[in-house]
Amino acid sequence: MTRGGKRTILTTKETHPFRLCIPVLLAFLVPTTKIYAAGNPTAPAASHLHGTVVRADGALAAGVHVSVISQDGSTVAVLITDKSGGFDEAILAAGKYEVTLIDGDGETKPSQTVNVAAGADVVVNFDLRSAPQSVVAPATVVAPLDMSFMHRLGRAYAADWAGNGPGTSVPQAPRRGTPPPLFSPPYPASDWPIGGTPTIGVPDGQTYPLMQAIDENKRIAKIYGWVEIGANGSTNNKTNAAKGIASNAPSAYDVYANTIQLDQGALYFEKYPNTAQKEHFDWGYRVTLLYGTDYRFTTAKGMLSQQLLLKDSQYGFDPVMLYYDFYFPKVAQGMNIRVGRYVSLPDIEAQLAPNNYSYSHSILYTYDCYTQTGLVGTVKVNDHLTVQAGISPGCDVMPWTTDAKVTGTFCATYTWSNGGDALNSCANSVNDSKYAYNNLAAYYETWYHRINSTWHTDTEGWYQYMKDVPNMYWYNAVNQTNTSTGQYLPSAKTPWPEVTFQRPGGVNLNFGAVCEDPRLAASKQSATCYAPEWAITNYVEHNFWKNTASLNIRSEFVDDIKGQRTGTPAKYEEHMVGFDFWAGSTITFRPELSYTHAFAKYGVTALNISPGASISNLEGVSQGAAPNPIGLGKTQALTLSADLIWHF
């Protein structure tokens, strides 16, 4: 999983299908930094570029456009010659520039390439007396562009969609180590995922439209984010967000069937440490604020968790990442220490939408650890081996809760084939593994393999468990005489899972286990049991359309042996085929089709129900109660879904 990882933007100037949608916008928003008449006193003072244009008839050429283009292809300025045929520009930075005349039809004509040193005075003259008369035609003087914030933002998007996205003026050290194995876009990142750290040895270099509008991407500190809207149509039909019934479960994040929803509105405040250099200490930070339906997957108990655990709200807010990074370049090939709340280390997938291959997520990913709060150290030993160790209060809990346990994390990543293969082994949560909120003992193995420049595959497997998990029988029991509500009181012999208060009306915070057949009598039911589960998932990825689109194929198998994760003891088979389509690096559209088949124990159903309701229903029916409709579901589901991500 790209745990808070960075994308390396590779832009292209070729036209692709998504760019065909925006010619009208491009006609009005010219992707240039500025346009002003020659001699404008507001032009910034720095290295000086100036010259004169002489027409083919020997006259001085007034009103001619002269473009100044930097080495990375971005237009620095479009100048207009004055009545004496002169133009001048204060170049903002030293470098190589192409100076080109533009005729009245907008076609480029003669050009010259010049090297501009800092503080230099450079003269570029154009004498067209040996050229045909039609080379340069007088042009109408163009008024300076509107430099208001919204216009700067609009031009940043127009330039990005035209394949000429902004570059950064922040000095970048060269990449260390192996070359990147992937293209990004269309993939979430150009490097294999590694959580709990920036990718050591890789420069930042990321730019964003919002920062282009604010300061032309000149700062190390950045503000950026996105808005993600999702929709789906499913054969599941019992969703009721008001009652907390998410009938597409165990699928995620399109968990509410047959809806259109705001999945994520994300805002980042970030300073990325410079880990490409080996000369000096550096530091960074990240604050990630998330609002939408996806808060339910990132919520940690004790951090605004009443939205989910008490109210089961459809929409909520979560500060999903709050951490500092401290980079020490002299330790091996670099060491990073992260302190705060961070996304857990393993996994192919990621919570934050742009960092994931597809709109939906695998069942494997949905039911493992999401965030941890603590400290994790990462050491890049050499170009092949990276090791990590950390300490936290456990998965998805804050240190001040009663569920907190001192928990260790130990991971190692080994790469070979010049970075084309990587194997990540991770013991993500090492403690007593006794029942508590998401207190999973979890062991991961993930293999990433680059087949060629357009195909790669990722495979992940995990084994998880909890010990001493309360038998759900005692919480679900009906028609008993022990209490006025017809339930067993929680005790050592009849324990309940974590709940907010006694039923009716209590909220189950953390599933127990289906230790025995719920149809058996109470005398044959245990108090607690060992609750394991295992899973494996595979992605096959293909990039095409000159890296502006990708094909995503996911297949997985999950065995929730005691139903502790999903609420139903069942084997789940899931298959997904989807696509990613990019417009520049700022708009992503991801349609997909998924099929899920659940093979549940005891003759119950595991799909199109309120999670856990089928087991509760079976227990009640076996003791003479009427069937509960929300516990009667399906064994198969087909879901067509898509999301649109607008980056800023």
- The C-alpha atoms of residue 228 and residue 646 are separated, in whole angstroms, by 7
Residue 138: phi and psi, rounded to 5, are -55, 140
Domain boundary residue, one of 110, 127, 144? 127
What is the number of structural domains in the chain? 2
pLDDT of 36 higher than 60: no
Determine the Cα–Cα distance for residues 493 and 191; give it in Å rounded to an integer: 51
What is the layout of strands, in order, in the sheet containing 75-80?
A: 35-37, 75-80, 65-70, 95-102, 108-116
Task: Say which residue, 599 or 88, is predicted with more confidence.
Answer: 599
Q: Which domain holds residue 81?
A: 33-127
Q: Rg for the chain (alpha carbons), in Å?
A: 30
Question: Are 278 and 390 part of one and the same domain?
Answer: yes
Can the peptide bond before residue 186 be classed as cis, meaning omega within 30 degrees of 0? Answer: yes
| pLDDT over threshold 60, residue 20 | no
pLDDT of residue 39: 38
Task: Looking at the structure, tell me whether residues 115 and 224 fall in a common domain.
Answer: no
168-194 pLDDT, tens digit each: 878 888 999 999 999 999 999 999 999
Residue partners of 520: CB distance under 8 A and separation at least 6: none
For 438, counting Cβ atoms within 10 Å of its Cβ (0-12 exposed, 13-18 middle, 19+ buried), the class is buried
Per 3-state DSSP, what percentage of the chain is helix, strand, and coil (rounded to 5)?
Answer: 10, 40, 50
Query: Which tens digit of pLDDT belongs to each residue from 498-509?
Result: 886 655 555 677
Looking at residue 92, what is its pLDDT? Answer: 65
Give me 263's structure tokens.
């999945």
Q: Check pLDDT > 90 for residue 631.
A: no
In a domain, 162, yes or no: no
pLDDT at 633 over 90: yes
Shared-domain flag, residues 453 and 582 = yes
Of 107, 127, 147, the domain-final residue: 127
Cα–Cα distances in Å, from 297 out to 363, 539, 611?
12, 21, 15
174 falls within a domain: no
Q: How confident is the model at residue 24 (pLDDT cuts 50, 70, 90)?
A: very low
Q: What is the pLDDT of residue 104?
A: 53
Alpha helices in 136-193 (DSSP H): 149-161
* Residue type, position 408, single letter: G
Bridge partners of residue 391, in order along the sequence:
375, 408
For the segment 559-612, what is each residue's pLDDT rounded down to a tens digit?
Answer: 999 999 999 999 999 999 999 999 999 999 999 999 999 999 999 999 999 888
Does residue 105 lie in a domain region? Answer: yes
* For the ranges 168-172, 216-220, 232-236, the one whose mean pLDDT is highest: 232-236
Mean pLDDT for 473-495 is 71
Question: What is the residue whose two structure tokens read 């346990």?
Answer: 405
Give residue for tokens 């604050």.
287
What tokens were used for 416?
């070979």
Residue 134 and residue 25 in contact, taking contact as beta carbons nearer than 8 Å: no
Q: What is the pLDDT of residue 95?
A: 81
* Per-residue confidence (pLDDT) for residue 33, from 0 to 100: 35
Look up residue 414 and give its amino acid. Y
- 123 and 213 in a single domain? The answer is no
Q: What's the rounded mean pLDDT across residues 94-111?
A: 72
Cα separation values, 22 from 227, 487, 584, Å = 20, 63, 11
pLDDT at 482: 45
Q: Which residue has the higher pLDDT, 105 or 630?
A: 630
Specify the pLDDT at position 29. Answer: 35
pLDDT score of 289 more than 50: yes
Torsion over CA: 239, 314, 262, 545 (sign): negative
pLDDT for the residue 143: 63
Same domain, 246 and 372: yes
Q: What is the pLDDT of residue 502?
A: 54
110 occurs within a structural domain: yes
| 548 inside domain | yes
The beta strand positions in 121-220, using DSSP E, are 121-123, 126-127
Residues 466 and 578 in one domain: yes
Residue 416 in domain: yes
Average pLDDT of the segment spanning 548-552: 98
Would 16 be classed as within a structural domain?
no
Give the span between the Cα atoms of 271 and 102, in whole angstroms.
Answer: 40
Q: Residue 401 is encoded by which pair of tokens? A: 């809760």
Nearest to 212 by CA among 202, 203, 222: 222
Q: Which of 127, 160, 178 is the last residue of a domain?
A: 127
Shared domain for 462 and 324, answered yes or no, is yes
Question: Do the Cβ atoms of 187 and 550 come closer than 8 Å?
Answer: yes
Are 482 and 619 in a shared domain?
yes
Between 335 and 49, residue with greater pLDDT: 335
Q: Are 221 and 340 within one domain?
A: yes
Averaged pLDDT of the chain = 86
Beta bridge partners of 513: 471
Residue type, 507: V
Tell whether the model's pLDDT for residue 50 goes beyond 90: no
User: In this predicted model, which residue has the larger pLDDT, 24 or 245?
Assistant: 245
Which residues, 6+ apart, have CB-to-CB distance to 155 below 8 Å? 29, 30, 31, 32, 145
Higher pLDDT, 419 or 137: 419
CATH of the domain at 283: 2.40.160.10
Q: What is the pLDDT of residues 309-325, one digit of tens each?
A: 988 899 999 999 999 99
pLDDT of residue 103: 61
pLDDT for the residue numbered 77 = 81
Q: Which residues contact 377 (CB under 8 A, 6 or more apart)?
A: 335, 336, 337, 338, 388, 389, 390
Does 254 fall in a domain? Answer: yes
The pTM assigned to this predicted structure is 0.78
**Token pair recorded at residue 305:** 């968790």
Q: Indicate whether 475 and 362 sit together in one domain.
A: yes
What phi and psi values does residue 26 have, to the nearest 5 degrees?
A: -65, -30
CATH number for the domain spanning 103: value is: 2.60.40.10
Confidence of residue 12 (pLDDT cuts 50, 70, 90): very low
Residue 138 has pLDDT above 60, yes or no: no
User: Per-residue pLDDT for 105 more than 60?
Assistant: no
Phi and psi at 162, nearest 5°, equal: -85, 5
Residue 9 pLDDT more than 50? Answer: no
Please list, in sequence order, all residues whose beta carbon lies within 8 angstroms of the beta carbon of residue 505, skipping any fewer than 6 positions away.
none
As given in the structure block, the two tokens for residue 439 are 């207190």
Residue 51 or residue 363, greater confidence? 363
When pLDDT is averaged across residues 101-106 and rounded to a whole number, the result is 62
